[in-house]
């Protein structure tokens, strides 16, 4: 394999910015996009052939964090319930666990995101209950079980007294 030409500092920043952009706009699994970026940067014959010890990967890791956060909150937004991009609370729960695991591995603080997710979830659940009870929505979009939802609210630190009554009836049955 031929040695890649030396990448100058300005080019390196542009390359890293482009890789971070691709992670931020990746699909449902930003860590796969991150590892694809690592392969491109360090191993791909068509890549820049960088030395792993010389590159600050923090912007790419932050992009993974931001992407997880975006898709976590997306599925707690009532405006997306009837759109193709909506995956439901079950996916939010899965993405919360992925984000937690990622933050543990990479040393990111999750507290602000936990609070933000809790506020989004409370709003989503209260909105869902209101629309179902008023008849403006015919069926619930909550696609997780009551036990899964209770565990999720506990992990987010939600005081259940802030939630609408009857949510158990809106959840997916076992």
d(CA 85, CA 25): 13
Q: Three-class SS of residue 143?
A: coil
The Cα–Cα gap between 146 and 61 comes to 33
Contact 20, 59 (CB under 8 A): yes
pLDDT of residue 10: 76
- The whole-number pLDDT of residue 2 equals 43
Average pLDDT over residues 154-159: 95
Whether the predicted pLDDT of 150 surpasses 70: yes
d(CA 3, CA 90): 47
pLDDT digits (tens, 9 = 90+) for 18-27: 999 999 999 8
Residues in the chain: 174
Query: In degrees rounded to 5, what are phi and psi of residue 119?
Result: -65, -40
- Residue 7 pLDDT level (bands cut at 50, 70, 90): low
pLDDT digits (tens, 9 = 90+) for 62-99: 999 999 999 999 999 999 999 998 899 999 999 999 99
pTM: 0.88
Percentage of the chain exceeding pLDDT 90: 80
Which has more pLDDT, 54 or 100? 100
How far apart (Å, rounded) are the C-alpha atoms in residues 26 and 34?
9
Q: If you search the block for the tokens 């010389």, which residue do you land on? A: 54
Instruction: Please state, rounded to an integer, the average pLDDT across all residues of the chain.
Output: 92
């Amino acid at each position: 394999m031929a040695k890649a030409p030396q990448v100058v500092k300005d080019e390196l920043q542009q390359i890293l910015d482009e890789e971070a952009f691709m992670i931020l706009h990746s699909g449902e699994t930003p860590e796969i996009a991150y590892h694809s970026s690592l392969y491109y940067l360090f191993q791909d014959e068509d890549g820049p052939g960088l030395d792993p010890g010389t590159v600050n990967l923090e912007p790419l890791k932050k992009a993974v964090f931001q992407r997880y956060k975006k898709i976590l909150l997306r599925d707690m937004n009532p405006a997306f319930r009837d759109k193709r991009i909506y995956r439901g609370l079950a996916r939010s729960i899965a993405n919360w666990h992925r984000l937690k695991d990622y933050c543990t591995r990479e040393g990111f603080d999750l507290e602000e995101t936990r609070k933000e997710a809790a506020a989004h979830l409370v709003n989503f659940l209260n909105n869902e209950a209101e629309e179902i009870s008023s008849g403006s929505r015919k069926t619930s979009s909550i696609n997780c079980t009551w036990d899964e939802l209770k565990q999720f609210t506990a992990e987010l630190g939600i005081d259940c007294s802030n939630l609408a009554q009857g949510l158990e009836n809106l959840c997916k049955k076992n």
